[in-house]
């Protein structure tokens, strides 16, 4: 007598019965998100469920979803989106998550909402606290952008979407460890660090800090600071085009290993000395580039990276206040923090903990608390 196959969806069907769909919230390439009212004993109230498709799947489940689940289960912080439950139904993974009302991109582009520097401090402080926790657990997010930074109705920031996250560190026998090899095609183009654009074989948490710098700039000027032109994208030269967009503002990268004369000139323009750079590279070293008005385009070893362009249009670094009209109104400390994040050389970028201790957050006015960051009832424009 033939045996009936077990119902692979039974457990998921039972769990889904506790949730009643309220509103469709949106969709990405491989997932869609809706809000649900939950009567589940472990998750009562209103939640979000992210349904992940089977594309790019392994054993029937999306690889990105597997990575996101694995990472979120290792994290526990108020500024990291909480994973409440996971189940499969209808061939899709269902991730039960905290419900948020919008994201930082919605807010940055919503001209109804003023963004004074005290509010920017409040958002950035929360972002850096969440990222510090992620890095302390030895993970890189690898796709930080304003769309992946969610906001609850109470103004609490939640770092989300860990589908590209990866551990960082060294591999080997402890005697001769080597950096963990990682793929460079991560992070959305407008937030992608230069070492990724140049197809470096390894990278670390500094790529997240570059993206944090892009987020800070976006909150200050209400748009992405580095945007690759559509023409370049159509030509299939995205990485080279994006590096060119960065060079227009920060100056063409200079490799002191191959062009020491240009490196000395760049140091002179920024008002720095070689010993200043050496001190900055030491963990816990100087937190500020006091009086720095121009970016530092130095990047040791960049010319040896496999994706570094054979030729790049020479561009001098632009003064920070000349890059955008709204930068002219930013405080010196805001631009000082920005200057320590948007650096070509990954070893010179501040860590999340160092950024949190930057004087920008101690200066008056203080960061706005979450409860005061959003107008009551705020929701993104449809």
Of 67, 97, 127, which closes a domain?
97
Selected residue with higher pLDDT from 303 and 91: 303
Quick check: is 3 in a domain? no
CATH of the domain at 357: 1.10.510.10
Rounded CA separation 63/29 (Å): 13
The predicted structure's pLDDT at residue 362 = 93
Over residues 7-19, the mean pLDDT reads: 76
Q: 200-220, pLDDT tens digit by residue? A: 888 889 999 999 999 999 999
Q: Which long-range contacts (CB under 8 A, 24 or more apart) does 168-176 make?
A: 168/138, 168/139, 168/140, 168/203, 168/204, 168/205, 169/138
CB atoms within 10 A of CB 240: 19
Over residues 275-300, the mean pLDDT reads: 73
75 with 164, same domain?
no
Query: Per mean pLDDT, which range of 24-33, 73-82, 101-110 is the poorest?
Result: 24-33
- pLDDT higher than 70, residue 289: no
- pLDDT higher than 50, residue 103: yes
Quick check: is 56 in a domain? yes
Rounded CA separation 41/337 (Å): 45
CATH of the domain at 76: 3.30.200.20
244 with 357, same domain?
yes
The predicted structure's pLDDT at residue 178 = 57
The predicted structure's pLDDT at residue 299 = 93
Quick check: is 379 in a domain? no
Quick check: is 171 in a domain? yes
**Greatest mean pLDDT among 22-26, 170-174, 246-250, 307-311:** 246-250
71 with 118, same domain?
no
Helices (H), 23-161: 63-72, 104-109, 117-136
247 with 298, same domain?
yes
93 with 223, same domain?
no
- pLDDT higher than 70, residue 172: no
194 with 207, same domain?
yes
181 with 54, same domain?
no
The predicted structure's pLDDT at residue 6 = 59
Q: Rounded to the nearest 5 degrees, what angle is found at the Cα of 287, between the Cα atoms of 79 and 298?
A: 105
Among residues 76, 103, 106, 143, the one annotated as catalytic is 143
Quick check: is 10 in a domain? no
Number of domains in the chain: 2
Range of the domain at 74: 17-97
Quick check: is 7 in a domain? no
Of 97, 126, 144, which closes a domain?
97
Rounded CA separation 196/335 (Å): 24
- pLDDT higher than 50, residue 58: no
Quick one: what percent of the chain has pLDDT higher than 90?
Answer: 40
Q: 220-271, pLDDT tens digit by residue? A: 999 999 986 566 555 557 888 899 999 999 999 999 888 888 888 888 877 7
144 with 55, same domain?
no
225 with 130, same domain?
yes
- Mean pLDDT, the chain, whole residue set: 84
Quick check: is 8 in a domain? no
108 with 88, same domain?
no
Q: Is 336 a catalytic residue?
A: no
Quick check: is 4 in a domain? no
Of 75, 97, 119, which closes a domain?
97
Bridge-partner residues for 33, per DSSP? 26, 50
The predicted structure's pLDDT at residue 268 = 80
């Amino acid at each position: 007598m033939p045996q009936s196959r077990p119902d692979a969806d039974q457990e998921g069907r039972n769990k889904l019965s506790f949730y009643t769909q309220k509103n469709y919230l949106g969709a990405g390439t491989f997932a869609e998100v809706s809000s649900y009212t939950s009567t589940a004993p472990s998750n009562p109230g209103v939640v979000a469920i992210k349904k992940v498709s089977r594309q790019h799947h392994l054993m029937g489940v999306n690889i990105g979803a597997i990575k996101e689940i694995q990472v979120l289960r290792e994290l526990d912080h108020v500024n990291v989106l909480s994973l409440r439950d996971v189940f499969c139904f209808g061939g899709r993974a269902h991730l039960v998550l905290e419900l948020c009302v919008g994201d930082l991109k919605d807010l940055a582009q919503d001209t109804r909402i003023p963004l004074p520097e005290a509010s920017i401090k409040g958002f950035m402080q929360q972002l850096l606290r969440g990222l510090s926790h992620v890095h302390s657990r030895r993970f890189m997010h690898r796709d930080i952008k304003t769309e992946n930074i969610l906001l609850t109705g109470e103004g609490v920031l939640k770092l989300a979407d860990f589908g590209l996250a990866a551990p960082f560190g060294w591999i080997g026998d402890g005697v001769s460890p080597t950096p963990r090899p990682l793929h460079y095609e991560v992070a959305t183009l407008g937030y992608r660090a230069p070492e990724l654009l140049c197809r470096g074989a390894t990278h670390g948490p500094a790529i997240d800090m570059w993206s944090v710098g892009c987020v800070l700039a976006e909150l200050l000027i209400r748009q992405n600071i580095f945007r690759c032109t559509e023409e370049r994208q159509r030509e299939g030269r995205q990485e080279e085009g994006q590096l060119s967009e960065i060079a227009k503002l920060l100056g063409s990268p200079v490799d002191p290993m191959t062009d020491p004369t240009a490196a000395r000139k760049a140091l002179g323009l920024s008002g720095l000395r070689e010993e200043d750079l050496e001190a900055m590279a030491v963990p816990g070293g100087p937190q500020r580039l006091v009086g720095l008005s121009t970016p530092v385009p130095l990047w040791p070893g960049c010319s040896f990276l496999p994706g570094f362009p054979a030729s790049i249009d020479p561009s001098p670094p632009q003064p920070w206040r000349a890059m955008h009209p709204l930068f002219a109104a930013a405080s010196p400390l805001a631009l000082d923090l920005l200057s320590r994040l948007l650096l070509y050389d990954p070893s010179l970028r501040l860590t999340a903990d160092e950024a949190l201790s930057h004087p920008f957050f101690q200066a008056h006015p203080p960061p706005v608390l979450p409860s005061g960051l959003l107008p009551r009832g705020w929701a993104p424009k449809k």
